[in-house]
Amino acid sequence: MAAHRKIIHLDMDCFYAAVEVRDNPALAGKPVAVGASPTGRGVLTTANYEARKFGVRSAMPTATALRQCPDLILVPVQMDKYRAASQAIHKIFADYTDKIEPLSLDEAFLDVSDCEQCGGSATLIAEEIRQRIYDDQQLTASAGISVNKFIAKVASDWNKPNGQTVITPDQVDQFVAELPVGKIFGVGKVTEAKIHKLGVKTCGDLRPFSERELAQQFGSFGERLYRLCRGIDNRPVKSDRVRKSQSVERTFSQDRADAAALLEKLPDLMDDLERRYQKQKQRYAINGIFVKIKFHDFQTTTMAHSGRYFWDKALLSHEFAQLIEQAWLRGQRAVRLLGIGFQFVELDTAAKQGDLFTDA
């Protein structure tokens, strides 16, 4: 096992537009956008780099784009073609690892930590994959290579189009320190403005704040900020799109002193969980339940019961209550967050294994 993970983030360059230009060479070198016609309120999905020079962007109303770039060539969306290209690209990824997490048709994370090709070099693997994509599809991709998803994703934007950027483990600290906070995944315009108000511009500027201070300012996202601004992101590359668990949690406005005070909140959480569970399109069989408690000092503990459950609110409430009492005894101090959730077996899989389930 490598001491650090090796994560690649791959992102195709102006994907839909690139496919269209590939398929119609007369468009090469000209400003091209893919999207709805300018009548009505149509918007663009994307534009090639020639069009971007005129300020044409994804999600821009087509009419606006044509005002800014009168020579813009407009091509209608043809999803089938983009899907076919996406599948071809994924086939190439699969030659290197099965730890692939697609984010959209043109973007994916790959965990190549255990990959033996190219002498195990993630940099060379990324180069080889990009070359193979070009040879196979005549499309260019950009890549970011680093120790986690957060940094790999930021890095893939650094040398776009048709380039790649490696942030080695010893460069991570400095790289992240200088990163504007707006680059952090999940920081939108509103959060960014709020962070700027603290006098903070870069991830480095965020580091003097304690986890508690950030949690007070930004809720549960504050805890992620605390880690991300230090370049820490332990999220795995999730190759399995099948839902494995589902949970709901509450951060209390005031810490709760003991297990009894936590149990008062259980009915609310059960209602939330029920809504979420019933809303799912796909039915999963519950294969276990768990609770999570975060004490006021941010120590966190989870406790689980495995076993088959059907949706029976009274029974589940009783079981969750028991787990909450047991989990609280592990810390025996005030609590800032309580969560409850299910572990699942997918019904299809369960059926294949010969188990029978009926919906409760």
Stretch of 3-11, 60-68, 203-211, 242-250 lying at the interface with Mg ion (CB under 5 A):
3-11
Provide the minimum distance between the beta carbon of 134 and ligand TTP in the complex, in angstroms, as a whole number: 15
Q: Which entry of ligand TTP, Mg ion, none binds 58, CB below 5 to 8 A by partner kind?
A: ligand TTP
Q: Give the burial string for 177-205 (b: 16+ CB within 10 Å, else e).
A: bebebebbeebeeebbeebeeeebbbbbb
Least Å from the CB of residue 16 to ligand TTP: 4
Nearer Cβ to ligand TTP, position 109 or 290?
A: 109
- Residues within window 94-113 making contact with Mg ion, judged by CB under 5 A: 106
Phi first, then psi, for residue 62 (nearest 5°) are -55, -40
Question: At closest approach, how far in Å is the CB of 89 from Mg ion?
Answer: 11
Among 11, 50, 223, 233, which residue interacts with Mg ion (rule: CB under 5 A)?
11
Closest of 145, 170, 168 to residue 155, by C-alpha: 145
φ/ψ bin of 269: left (φ > 0), alpha (ψ from -120 to 50), beta (otherwise): alpha
Q: Which is nearer to ligand TTP, 182 or 331 (CB)?
A: 182
Q: Quote the least distance from Cβ 145 to ligand TTP, whole Å.
A: 17
Q: Provide CB contacts within 8 A for 73, sequence distance 6+.
A: 27, 30, 31, 32, 33
How many C-beta atoms lie closer than 10 Å to residue 238's C-beta? 15
Q: Which two tokens stand for residue 107?
A: 């973007």
Active-site pick, 20, 50, 101, 107: 107
Selection from ligand TTP, Mg ion, none that 16 binds (CB < 5 to 8 A by kind) is: ligand TTP
Among ligand TTP, Mg ion, none, what binds residue 46 when CB lies within 5 to 8 Å by partner kind?
ligand TTP
Q: State both tokens at 206.
A: 């965020």
The alpha helices in the chain, defined as continuous H runs, are 15-23, 49-52, 62-68, 79-94, 122-137, 149-156, 169-177, 189-197, 203-206, 211-218, 220-228, 259-263, 266-279, 313-329, 347-352
Kindly tell me which residue out of 12, 75, 237, 335 binds Mg ion, with binding defined by CB under 5 A. Answer: 12
Q: Which residues pair with 39 in a beta bridge?
A: none
Work out what residue 101 binds among Mg ion, ligand TTP, none; the CB cut-off runs from 5 to 8 Å by kind.
none
* Contact partner at residue 293 from ligand TTP, Mg ion, none, CB < 5 to 8 Å by partner kind: none
- For residues 82 and 63, the answer to whether their CB atoms sit within 8 Å is no
Choose the one of ligand TTP, Mg ion, none that binds residue 127, judging by a C-beta under 5 to 8 angstroms depending on kind.
none
> Nearer Cβ to Mg ion, position 15 or 82?
15
Which residues bind to ligand TTP, rule: CB under 6 A? 11-16, 45-46, 58-59, 104, 106-107, 160-161
User: How far apart are CB 15 and Mg ion at their closest, in Å?
Assistant: 5
Q: Which CB sits closer to ligand TTP, 3 or 59?
A: 59
Q: Is 211 a catalytic residue?
A: no
Q: Transcribe 210-246 into DSSP letters.
A: -HHHHHHHHTHHHHHHHHHTTT----------S--EE
Rounded Cα distance between 240 and 150, Å, is: 19
Residue 202's binding partner out of Mg ion, ligand TTP, none, with CB under 5 to 8 Å set by partner kind: none
CB 331 within 8 A of CB 256: no
Contacts of 225 (CB under 8 A, 6+ apart): 184, 187, 206, 214, 218
d(CA 100, CA 93): 7
Least CB distance to ligand TTP at residue 161 (A): 6
Binding segment for Mg ion (CB under 5 A), chosen from 11-19, 84-92, 218-226, 263-271, is: 11-19
Q: Which is nearer to ligand TTP, 144 or 222 (CB)?
A: 144
Cβ at position 85, least distance to ligand TTP in Å: 11
Q: How many residues bind Mg ion (CB under 5 A)?
A: 4
- How many Cα neighbours within 13 Å face the side chain of 123? 5
Active site residue ranges:
107
Give me the residues that bind Mg ion (CB under 5 A), please: 11-12, 15, 106
